[in-house]
């Protein structure tokens, strides 16, 4: 089925199984994957005894990109934050400037990368992906001198176009943060762990905080499916949003290695953040370095790796520039 034939917004109620990952199923998955998995008790603590329709709520990204959005993909890069005078007027890196074989923004500005948060049962990954991309780009543009932690809750509660805890498209989310922005995390901390979504308020929960919205630069939204262009943009400005397919075995992933789907049914699509790339020297394959929103008990302290082109990981990568 072609992308444009599918509805733009989907419900996460599509259920591939009526039962959670039982201990028996856990052992089966563990025996058939080539990566480390978390202990079953930790898995239950993180995801609980949930049916798959509930596990879907840990995802929440609608990967379905319209043909109109695909046509807007561009490779223009208006300025560079890592190094000066390396971008030409055409948006390409100037001759003599090369993209490294491996790159991780945490190596340059670790102060911009606090431990990944857990979105809980709410399918709000679209908000976590977009807000972290924007706040890390703000921090990087400021050479790591300041970090405005942005509110995922404000996006979930106040964007009338999204489906709250039942997902949204990344495109819609970036349109919202370019038009309206979001306040600080201290102003509106995340509270939708259990699917409850407070109404939109134009004031801070923490009354000592000023209500200020931080916006992305209007018209700066950029998207690409070209690996080289993604690398250039990521290297130039900071982390980018993307989506990927998720499967049963991914929920058990607890490893510093590269995640590859081996066993289990698809659970949905999920929005995450690309922060860099590297090379698996064993098989000479490149991978993206990714930040998740399932907390630090999952993956490699909340981060993980996926090979280029696997699981639709770089089919539509996007981001906006911070308005600072």
* Catalytically active residues, by annotation: 125, 270, 292
Q: Which long-range contacts (CB under 8 A, 24 or more apart) does 2-11 make?
A: 3/64, 3/65, 3/66, 3/67, 3/70, 4/66, 4/67, 6/64, 7/64, 8/62, 8/64, 8/66, 8/169, 9/62, 9/163, 9/167, 9/168, 9/169, 10/62, 10/64, 10/167, 11/163, 11/166, 11/167
Residues 6+ apart with CB under 8 A from 239: 105, 132, 133, 136, 137, 273, 274, 275, 291, 319
φ, ψ dihedrals at 105, nearest 5°: -60, -25
């Amino acid at each position: 089925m072609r992308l444009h034939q599918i509805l733009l917004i989907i419900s996460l109620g599509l259920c591939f199984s009526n039962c959670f990952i039982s201990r028996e199923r856990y052992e089966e998955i563990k025996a058939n994957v080539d990566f480390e998995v978390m202990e079953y008790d930790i898995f239950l603590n993180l995801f609980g005894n949930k049916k798959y329709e509930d596990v879907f709520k840990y995802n929440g990204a609608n990967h379905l990109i319209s043909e109109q959005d695909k046509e807007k993909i561009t490779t223009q890069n208006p300025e560079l934050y890592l190094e000066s005078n390396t971008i030409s007027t055409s948006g390409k890196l100037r001759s003599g400037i090369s993209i490294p074989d491996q790159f991780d923004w945490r190596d340059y500005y670790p102060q911009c990368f606090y431990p990944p948060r857990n979105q809980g049962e709410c399918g709000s990954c679209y908000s976590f992906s977009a807000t972290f991309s924007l706040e890390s780009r703000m921090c990087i543009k400021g050479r790591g001198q300041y970090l405005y932690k942005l509110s995922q809750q404000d996006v979930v509660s106040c964007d009338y176009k999204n489906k709250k805890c039942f997902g949204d498209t990344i495109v819609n989310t970036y349109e919202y943060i370019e038009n309206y922005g979001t306040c600080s995390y201290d102003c509106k901390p995340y509270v939708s762990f259990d699917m409850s979504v407070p109404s939109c308020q134009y004031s801070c929960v923490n009354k000592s905080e000023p209500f200020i919205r931080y916006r992305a630069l209007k018209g700066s939204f950029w998207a690409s499916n070209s690996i080289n262009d993604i690398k250039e943009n990521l290297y130039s400005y900071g982390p980018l949003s993307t989506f990927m397919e998720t499967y049963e075995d991914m929920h058990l992933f607890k490893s510093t290695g590269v995640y590859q789907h081996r066993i289990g049914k698809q659970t949905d699509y999920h929005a995450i953040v690309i922060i860099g790339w590297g090379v698996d020297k064993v098989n000479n394959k490149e991978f993206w370095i990714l930040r998740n929103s399932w907390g630090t008990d999952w993956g490699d302290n909340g981060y993980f790796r996926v090979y280029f082109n696997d699981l639709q990981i770089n089919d539509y990568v996007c981001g906006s520039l911070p308005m600072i």
